[in-house]
Amino acid sequence: MKTNRYILVLFLWFTHVVFSQKEADTIPQLDLFKLALINQTDSYITFPTDIGNIEPLMFEANVNPSFVIRKRNDSKLMAVLTPQVTIRMYREDSYPVRTPSYIPQISLYYLANKKEALNYLVFFGKIAHHSNGQDGEFYNEDNTINLQSGNFATNFVEFGFLKTGYSNKLKAIKTLKSAIEIHPKSWLLPELKGRYSGLRLHNSFTSFKFPLTDSNSDRANFSLKAEATVMLDNYNDLDVFDLERFNASVTFYYHPKFLEDIGLFVQFYHGMDYYNIYFEQQLSVIRFGIMTEILRF
């Protein structure tokens, strides 16, 4: 009788080990490089179907490749260089492209903690330049901002952290981000001082949903990103709780099986226009487009 009990206990223990290992092997794996990609701005192209108060566009494109600097694949410290460029082509005669946004940047990531079940804590810092490649006067003769050729330039730093987790039940990776962005006054054009926010708090939540029926998939079928930014400093004489201090966006991404490296997305954005010298415009827009899928697990 005792022998049977021992055999039963041994069988149950062996079964638990085998299935636990199988479950661990099927969990999508992250590393510092993939965590950095989650934090980077996506590369995308929008369709000419924007809904909202943005000027009619043929497309908006964001090109943001990542160049990684690290000693080896399992390094806890890594740098990422990204020559980000954002372009808008307008639905006007000759389809002009005006004042692209150039945001070259270098980011440093440090893996501070790694626990089981994809619980990671990463600290990061960034230094970046944002300009529009123009050298004209900032103001027109009527004292309005020169959107056609006016000079726009600023430099900034950003510091924050990323926290990740994984839900076995939902088969989804989730990431929380919080960061502070600082534009020192000496790094701003004189014309931007008092008109352009130099202190911003960023928070975001990202979730990557994996298929429940295909544990061997190396990509998420769906992802969701919610972002919010609060301008903390005194600019444009705004009240503390003025709605113009808040930017918010929600992006839903879907990867259909018939596409290889790109997917479809829909995004709602409300807040300050992020397109360089257009910063005083307030946007409320729903947009559709395609997005690259460089993140694979």
- Type of residue found at 194: G
pLDDT for 40: 85
Residue 87 in contact with residue 97, Cβ under 8 Å?
A: yes
Q: Tokens representing 177?
A: 């981000």
pLDDT for 7: 47
Query: Helix, strand, coil shares of the chain as percentages rounded to 5?
Result: 15, 45, 35
Pick the CATH number of 28-292 from 2.40.50.140, 3.20.20.80, 2.40.230.10, 3.40.640.10: 2.40.230.10
pLDDT for 219: 67
pLDDT for 170: 74
Closest CA to 125 of 75, 98, 84, 161: 161
Residue 162 in contact with residue 37, Cβ under 8 Å?
A: no
pLDDT for 238: 92
pLDDT in tens, 95-129: 999 899 999 999 999 999 877 667 899 999 999 99
What are the sequence ranges of the domains in the chain? Answer: 28-292
pLDDT for 3: 53
Residue 188 in contact with residue 152, Cβ under 8 Å?
A: no
pLDDT in tens, 1-19: 555 555 444 444 444 433 3
Low-confidence ranges of the chain (pLDDT < 50): 7-25, 297
pLDDT for 172: 84
